[in-house]
Amino acid sequence: MKAVKPHATGFPDHSAPGPGEAGAFTISACPEAHVALEWFEHAPGFVAFLAGPDLVFAHANDAYKRLVGREHLIGLPLHVALPGMAGQGVTGLIADVLARGERRVERARAVLVPGADGGSQLRYVDFVIEPVPSGDGEGIAGLLIQGSDVTLETISQRELQFSLTHDSLTRLPNYALFRDRLAHALQRAARAQGLLQLAAFDLDMFKRVNALLGRECGESILREVALRIQHVAGPEATLARESGDKFLLMFEGEQEADAAKRIQDVIEAVAEPFDHEGHAVYVTCCVGGATFPLSGQTADSLLLAADRALARAREAGAGMLRWDDTAPDGAELERLRLGFALREAMARGELQVHYQPQLDLVTGKPCTVEALVRWMKDGEKVPPATLISVADECGLIGELGDWVLRTACTQAVRWREIGFSSLRVAVNLSARQFSMRNLESSIVKALSDTGLPASCLVLELTESLLMENLDHAVESLFALRKRGVQLCLDDFGSGYSSLANLQRLPIDVLKIDRSFLQRVPEAEDASAIVDAIITMGHSLGMRVVAEAVEREAQCDFLSRNMCDEVQGYYVSGPVPADAMTEFLRAGVGLAPHLLRFNRTRPTLLLVDDEPSILSSLRRLLRNEGYRILTANSGSEGLKVLAENAVDVIVSDQRMPEMTGVDFLRNVRQLYPDTVRIVLSGFTELQTVTDAVNAGAIYKFLTKPWDDEQLRGHIQEAFLYGAMANENRLLTLQVRTANQQLAAVNHQLESVLAQQRNEIERGEISLDIVHEALSNVPVPVLASDDIGTIVLANRAALDLFSGHGPVLGCDVRQLFPGLPAELPEGTGFSFEHRLGDKRFPAELRPMGNGSHSRGWLIAVTGRELDTAEH
């Protein structure tokens, strides 16, 4: 036995022997022993002292005797008089105390004590078992057991706790407890990426059982149903009674099929007959099942999903099971996993922003870069559209959007610092981001935190996003626009925004949807639409950008049709920030012939399948100052055209793969401004004439040709082309001017709208001033700069009530005391006589000093006492 350390417990020192109970055993004779005995007798609750190495009862108060159900204890060994206790019994506890030499406190331990009827009774006790050290500090003198009966408190506390969380009829957890357990189980499942099945049971037509067989019968059936479900579902499942005849059951970590099988068993078990006064009663139930994570990821959404399924089960008839059919397939599970991975990737900073330049078609230089988010997951690029929708689904879109915005703004500031100070950065906004309440403030904050001027930020919004949130949209767009942020309507044409709606919005830029661009300039309808969008955008005062521009022919078309900016692989795909910096530094720009006003050296394209003819034509024309390009087939000619600006084309008619006419027809569609000449023999005259009449060919020349004539015709063609070009340029200039005008108008309209607003507000405040003035008890009048009364308040009208009309008459007529020349600059007091009454009055010029805009007259006091004078 371990040596026992002395305790500072306040317990009496039992080491000294004293008078014991009936002399059967002596504790100690020292004076402290009396105190100890006194204390024993009056101690609250029960006390027993066991003495000596053998631990025999040396003392026990009445309460202790009642507790263990024995009258005489003194001298008896420990084990005969201990309360019974389940688990680690009191004997065990005592052994523990002796071994450690430390006191042990037990609270609300359930003990079995002898009952009055001879049986045993459950009580709850708090108690302390404490070793009492011997005087010499070696070993122990005895053991003290002390405590109190807390049965009543414990039971009422436990009852209360239980009744708050359980259903009193079935003793099952109630809805609140179930929901809580479900929420915890969901956390576990989410951590382990496991499954969880939830089922909602509802008894069919149970109200009828209640009504016909009585409430008592109903209640006993409910109790029985609870037992059956619990029994079949097994001890691992959590069952609860939600309300009335509805139960909830949850299986953790189980596959849907296994759970469905178990639930089917439950349905069958419930359907077994119940006995009511010797008669069989049949009750069936419907069940709705839902699965985590497919049907929902929160306790509420899962409960809702189970309820939805239950409703469908009920519709299907009594005894049916339905599983939540929104439960999606593997692809969606994949998305869910993607959501988890995204959360982690964001936390680890694994996302990137790439930038794609937009080039101005007038200057040919980058004017804006669009920020596009990038996520490489396991070495593969997650499509941004998927990324955005997953972020949206798992509530990360706000954080993601804000991160992209800040990253892009920070980068734009860096570019400004190295000299690209007029470069704008465009950031895409998602629908969810757009409908967030704090959109405006979060953007303003990002701008101020990063130091980017608002005018350098473009926000890209899609049509559908705007149309869904139109009212909210108008308000927050105006607020952002007012701060100088530019707004771009992305993917324009893909949605269904009406012009009327577009006009309501403060949009600065239209970005034409890629679907139109794809077929430009080959498809006429698409080309016409793009042209129309550009014209419309311009007439609304907006700039127009084309995205997904992949070929020169598209760029050429856009430039000729007044598009303002191009973006696409033709210029550059989206690249990391560093590569973008390189791109900017390198001064990459559009080739001059693609710019709106810049056309280069006259260029001639010769197409013939015979190399000898090509070279003789080349020789013939080499000193004419043209840039000469050649191709030996129609298709090669198209390739050359895609990469070069060409003014005049001379093509042979008879070529093996594509005739000259067919080639030039094609060219006409792609490059309508080219001047096209065909060289043909007389035999093909009919085809060629048709082509001339259809406008595909400007001229046809016959083979063999006359050198001088050919040179002359080509010169003429260039002249014609130059004129057409001049015309086109003129048109472009006019259209550019118109566009600028429209843009100014657009801005003017905003300003006007704002002014209208202010005027309205001004009118309201004017009304208030009028109202206030008319209520001033002192007569007040105002005249204009020539002295005509324009305003008089109520008191003034009263004062001059006998005078006739006040407004419109001359101030000197009303106040004869005033000088003919009213003073400028300073005011003065004067006396106003009305009949034989006299009033003190004051006149003050209005406006700012030298150029008064009229006078204000106030009769400042009551009638002066005539006697005074």
Binding site for ligand C2E (CB under 6 A): 356, 372-373, 383-385, 388, 401, 404, 428-430, 460, 490-491, 514, 547-550, 568-569, 573-574
Tokens of 527: 């080309």
What mask, x for binding Ca ion by CB under 5 A, covers residues 593 to 612?
Answer: --------------------
Smallest separation, CB 453 to ligand C2E (Å): 21
Q: Which residue has the tokens 């869910």?
A: 336
Instruction: Identify which of residues 410 and 725 has a Cβ nearer to ligand C2E in the complex.
Output: 410
The H or E element that residue 319 is part of is none
Q: CB neighbours of 556 closer than 8 A, spacing ≥ 6?
A: 521, 593, 594, 645, 671
Strand order in the sheet with 855-859: 789-792, 780-783, 855-859, 837-845, 828-834
Instruction: Identify which of residues 27 and 390 has a Cβ nearer to ligand C2E in the complex.
Output: 390
Instruction: Note whether 256 binds Ca ion by CB under 5 A.
Output: no
- Please identify the residue of the shown chain whose CB is closest to the bound ligand C2E: 568
Smallest separation, CB 446 to ligand C2E (Å): 13
Smallest separation, CB 509 to ligand C2E (Å): 13
Burial class (CB in 10 A: 0-12, 13-18, 19+), 425: buried
Instruction: Identify which of residues 73 and 429 has a Cβ nearer to Ca ion in the complex.
Output: 429
What separation in angstroms does the CA of 68 have from each of 4, 115, 281?
28, 10, 49
What separation in angstroms does the CA of 809 have from each of 770, 776, 805, 815, 819?
20, 22, 7, 11, 16
Smallest separation, CB 363 to ligand C2E (Å): 20
Instruction: Identify which of residues 460 and 652 has a Cβ nearer to Ca ion in the complex.
Output: 460
The answer to whether the beta carbons of residues 675 and 647 sit under 8 Å apart is yes
CA angle 730, 732, 735 (to 5 degrees): 110
Site for Ca ion in 470-499 (CB under 5 A): 490-491
Instruction: Identify which of residues 237 and 512 has a Cβ nearer to Ca ion in the complex.
Output: 512
Total of chain residues touching Ca ion, rule CB under 5 A: 4
Instruction: Note whether 783 binds Ca ion by CB under 5 A.
Output: no
Instruction: Identify which of residues 318 and 579 has a Cβ nearer to ligand C2E in the complex.
Output: 579
Instruction: Identify which of residues 47 and 372 has a Cβ nearer to ligand C2E in the complex.
Output: 372
Please state the length of the chain.
869
Q: Which does 568 bind (CB under 5 to 8 A by kind): Ca ion, ligand C2E, none?
A: ligand C2E
Tokens of 110: 């359930």
- Nearest Cα neighbor of 815 from 806, 825, 827 is 806
Tokens of 346: 């964001």
The H or E element that residue 843 is part of is strand 837-845
- Nearest Cα neighbor of 826 from 866, 790, 855 is 855
Smallest separation, CB 407 to ligand C2E (Å): 9
d(CA 8, CA 499): 90
Smallest separation, CB 437 to Ca ion (Å): 23
For residue 286, the SS3 value is strand
Q: Which letter does DSSP use for residue 647 in this model?
A: S
Binder to Ca ion among 256, 307, 460, 508 (CB under 5 A)?
Answer: 460
Near Ca ion by CB under 5 A, which window of 456-464, 701-709, 755-763, 829-837?
456-464
Instruction: Identify which of residues 140 and 372 has a Cβ nearer to ligand C2E in the complex.
Output: 372
The H or E element that residue 674 is part of is none
Instruction: Identify which of residues 196 and 390 has a Cβ nearer to ligand C2E in the complex.
Output: 390
For residue 606, the cross-strand partners are: 630, 650
Strand pairing category for 351-360 and 575-576:
antiparallel
Near Ca ion by CB under 5 A, which window of 356-364, 421-429, 515-523, 798-806?
421-429
Q: CB neighbours of 101 closer than 8 A, spacing ≥ 6?
A: 2, 3, 4, 5, 131, 140
Smallest separation, CB 352 to Ca ion (Å): 17
Instruction: Identify which of residues 200 and 458 has a Cβ nearer to ligand C2E in the complex.
Output: 458
Q: Which does 263 bind (CB under 5 to 8 A by kind): Ca ion, ligand C2E, none?
A: none
Q: Which does 28 bind (CB under 5 to 8 A by kind): ligand C2E, Ca ion, none?
A: none
Q: Which letter does DSSP use for residue 776 in this model?
A: -
Q: Which does 372 bind (CB under 5 to 8 A by kind): ligand C2E, Ca ion, none?
A: ligand C2E
The answer to whether the beta carbons of residues 655 and 681 sit under 8 Å apart is no
Helices (H), 193-287: 206-213, 215-233, 256-271
Q: Which does 384 bind (CB under 5 to 8 A by kind): ligand C2E, Ca ion, none?
A: ligand C2E
Instruction: Note whether 463 binds Ca ion by CB under 5 A.
Output: no
Q: Which does 404 bind (CB under 5 to 8 A by kind): Ca ion, ligand C2E, none?
A: ligand C2E
Instruction: Identify which of residues 558 and 818 has a Cβ nearer to Ca ion in the complex.
Output: 558
d(CA 800, CA 810): 13
Binder to Ca ion among 15, 61, 428, 603 (CB under 5 A)?
Answer: 428
Smallest separation, CB 518 to Ca ion (Å): 13
Is the preceding peptide bond at 672 cis, omega within 30 degrees of 0?
no
Q: Which does 97 bind (CB under 5 to 8 A by kind): Ca ion, ligand C2E, none?
A: none
d(CA 711, CA 718): 11
Q: Which does 317 bind (CB under 5 to 8 A by kind): Ca ion, ligand C2E, none?
A: none
The answer to whether the beta carbons of residues 237 and 209 sit under 8 Å apart is no
Instruction: Identify which of residues 149 and 460 has a Cβ nearer to Ca ion in the complex.
Output: 460
For residue 771, the SS3 value is helix
**What does 417-481 look like in DSSP terms, one character per residue?**
HTT-TT-EEEEE--HHHHH-TTHHHHHHHHHHHHT--GGGEEEEEEHHHHHHTHHHHHHHHHHHH
Smallest separation, CB 496 to ligand C2E (Å): 17
Smallest separation, CB 847 to ligand C2E (Å): 55
Instruction: Identify which of residues 388 and 605 has a Cβ nearer to Ca ion in the complex.
Output: 388
Smallest separation, CB 436 to ligand C2E (Å): 12
Q: Which does 779 bind (CB under 5 to 8 A by kind): ligand C2E, Ca ion, none?
A: none
- Nearest Cα neighbor of 64 from 175, 143, 147 is 147
d(CA 315, CA 321): 11
d(CA 153, CA 158): 8
Smallest separation, CB 587 to ligand C2E (Å): 21
Q: Which does 282 bind (CB under 5 to 8 A by kind): Ca ion, ligand C2E, none?
A: none
Instruction: Identify which of residues 199 and 553 has a Cβ nearer to ligand C2E in the complex.
Output: 553
Instruction: Identify which of residues 240 and 429 has a Cβ nearer to ligand C2E in the complex.
Output: 429
Smallest separation, CB 370 to Ca ion (Å): 6
Q: Which does 712 bind (CB under 5 to 8 A by kind): Ca ion, ligand C2E, none?
A: none
Instruction: Identify which of residues 381 and 803 has a Cβ nearer to ligand C2E in the complex.
Output: 381
Smallest separation, CB 425 to Ca ion (Å): 12
Q: Which does 632 bind (CB under 5 to 8 A by kind): Ca ion, ligand C2E, none?
A: none
Q: Which does 550 bind (CB under 5 to 8 A by kind): Ca ion, ligand C2E, none?
A: ligand C2E
Sign of CA dihedral 86, 92, 93, 96: negative
Smallest separation, CB 790 to ligand C2E (Å): 59
Smallest separation, CB 568 to ligand C2E (Å): 3
Smallest separation, CB 511 to Ca ion (Å): 5
Instruction: Identify which of residues 388 and 658 has a Cβ nearer to ligand C2E in the complex.
Output: 388
Residues found near Ca ion in the complex (CB under 5 A): 428, 460, 490-491
